[in-house]
Structure 1
Amino acid sequence: MPRAKNIAFLASETPEAQTALTRLTGRYGQTPLEEAAIIVALGGDGFMLQTLHGTMHVDAPVYGMNRGTVGFLMNDYRETGLTGRLARAEEAAINPLKMVATRMNGEIVEALAINEVSLLRAGAQAARLRISVDDRVRMEELVCDGALVATPAGSTAYNYSAHGPILPIGSEVLALTAMSAFRPRRWRGALLPKSARVRLDVLTPGKRPMMAEADGQSVRDVVSVEVASEPAVRHRLLFDPGHGLEERLLREQFT
Structure 2
Amino acid sequence: MPRASASPSAPLEATPQSVPNSEWNCNSQFTGIWVTGQGKVTVVPDVAILSLGVEAQAATVQQAMAEAATAMDRVIAALRANGVAEKDIQTQWFNIYPVRRWVDDAREVLIGYRVTNMVSAKIRDVEATGSIIDRVAEAGGDLTRIHGVSFTVDDPSQYHNEAREKAIADAKATAQHLAALAGVDLGRPFYISESGGFVPIYRDYAMMEGGGILPPTPISPGETEITLTVQMAFAIE
Tell me which interval the TM-score lies in, with the shorter structure as reference length. Answer: under 0.3
If you compute each CA radius of gyration, which structure gives the higher value, 1 or 2?
A: 2
TM-score (norm 1): 0.24
Report the structure, 1 or 2, having the larger helix content.
2
What TM-score results when the alignment is normalised by the length of structure 2? 0.25
